[in-house]
Amino acid sequence: MGFGGRVLACVLALASAGLAIECPAGFFEAAGGCFVVYTQPGSDQTNLDWEGARTLCKSMSDSSWTVDLAVFDSSEQLAAVSEAWATIGATYPYPYPYMWIGVERQGETWTWLDGRPLSRFSNMWRVDYPDEAYDTGVYLEDFKLSNGANVYGRLYVGNSGHQWLRRYMCRAK
């Protein structure tokens, strides 16, 4: 690659790493992605399964944005979402540690909705996950809320057989 090509590659890398994008109304930006979290009304159990949450996300698509359950481009992007959620989550109507996201099991492989595999060894998974006994949808877990400890509210990917959840995270692209 010539000097001009290297300069262009550096400029593009810096631009993609450092510039925030403008997200649709109600979405928050984290490491170049546009995300929103929805909570079912009331703190009682609902009938919102992974497919239902995905349908609700997709219904927000319009001519400018395609919306689906959230996928993360990297563990750094998930860390940025965790940082944003530490503040944003406090504004939601009640504490709740789980939210559906866009990962599904296809045979022996866990796959993001955009087709990329999510390795069982990824640092995005919570310790001891994925649980191969369950084929149900994958969710983010707010570790601070789920274990009750006074620790940083890091979000981890998990799948322990939940069939119904009250929250879901969507991403607009």
pLDDT digits (tens, 9 = 90+) for 16-60: 444 568 999 999 999 999 999 998 876 666 778 889 999 999 999
Q: How many residues can be counted in the chain?
A: 173
Single pTM value for the model: 0.78
Q: Is residue 95 part of a domain?
A: yes
Q: What is the pLDDT of residue 77?
A: 93
**Residue listed under structure tokens 């927000």:** 60
Indicate which CATH number applies to the domain containing 28. Answer: 3.10.100.10
Q: What is the pLDDT of residue 146?
A: 58
**Residue listed under structure tokens 């979405």:** 27
How many of the other CB atoms lie within 10 Å of CB of 142? 21
Q: What is the mean pLDDT of residues 5-9?
A: 39
Q: Is residue 118 part of a domain?
A: yes
Q: Which residue range(s) make up the domain with 122? A: 23-172
Q: What is the pLDDT of residue 87?
A: 86
| Higher pLDDT among residues 55 and 152, named by residue | 55
Q: Is residue 94 part of a domain?
A: yes
CA distance 144 to 151: 6
Q: Is residue 6 part of a domain?
A: no
Q: Is residue 14 part of a domain?
A: no
Mapping DSSP onto H, E and C, the string for the chain reads CCHHHHHHHHHHHHHHHHCCCCCCCCCEEECCEEEEEEECCCCCCCCCCHHHHHHHHHCCCCCCCCEEECCCCCHHHHHHHHHHHHHHHHHCCCCCCEEECCEEEECCEEEECCCCECCCCCCCECCCCCCCCCCCCCEEEEHHHHHCCCCCCCEEEECCCCCCCCEEEEEEC
pLDDT digits (tens, 9 = 90+) for 78-132: 989 988 988 888 888 878 888 888 988 888 888 889 999 887 777 777 766 676 6
Task: Work out how many domains the chain is built from and give that number.
Answer: 1
